[in-house]
Amino acid sequence: MTTVDDLWYLADVASQQAEQTYHELGEQYDEFVEFTRHRRVKRPRFRTVAEDARDHGAPFGAHTLPYRPTGELLLVRHDGVGRWVLPGGELDPGESFREAALRELAEESGIEARIEGLGMLGRVEFYCENNNTWGLLPVFEARAETTEIDVQDPDGEISEARWFDELPEDTRDREEILRWREHRFGRT
């Protein structure tokens, strides 16, 4: 008996949803920094990201670029990644990207913020064997309304949150964040 591999079909549907989500976000927001990442992953991880991209176009959920009017950015220390990252994570059922981004920001830092627009939109391309798919990483710029930090991450991945004027060298997506800051504030 021959086993039919449905991974190619899942990857195709995921790419179609990512394309639709890309166009929807592009219609809602005017200016944002775009970037592309390439990831070669193992089969189980490929299936997971393709399923998430199929469901809403964004396998990593939604994130924020929380900032103070002075231009300082809030980053969180993600222990699993071993780097400073932008707060964010997966969508809960029925949540919009904006809702997920603000919820994750509150959980990972205790900060409340107002979304001002889409700051960055990443395209993450995934490859596994002869399969490929892609998904989006929407990152909303959010002006802090509170600035006192209180990490209450239910996933236990975030050990610290901190405001930065100068980004640490071990910041994930550092160059893209600096491009956004240059575009937003006229400085890196």
Residue 28: CATH number of its domain: 3.90.79.10
The model carries a pTM of 0.92
Q: Is residue 11 situated within a structural domain?
A: no
Residues of the chain scoring pLDDT < 70: 1-4, 187-188
Q: Which residue has the tokens 């997506």?
A: 173
- Total domains present in the chain: 1
Sequence-separated (6 or more) residues with CB below 8 Å from residue 79: 157, 158, 159
Contacts of 46 (CB under 8 A, 6+ apart): 7, 11, 126, 127, 128, 131, 133
- Whether residue 16 lies inside any domain: the answer is no
Q: What is the pLDDT of residue 183?
A: 87
Considering Cα of 65, then 70, then 76, then 77, what sign does the dihedral take? positive
Identify whether 3 is part of a domain. no
Relative orientation angle of helices 43-56 and 7-28, to the nearest 10 degrees: 40
Domain that holds residue 59: 21-185
Antiparallel, parallel or unpaired: β 88-89 and 62-67? antiparallel
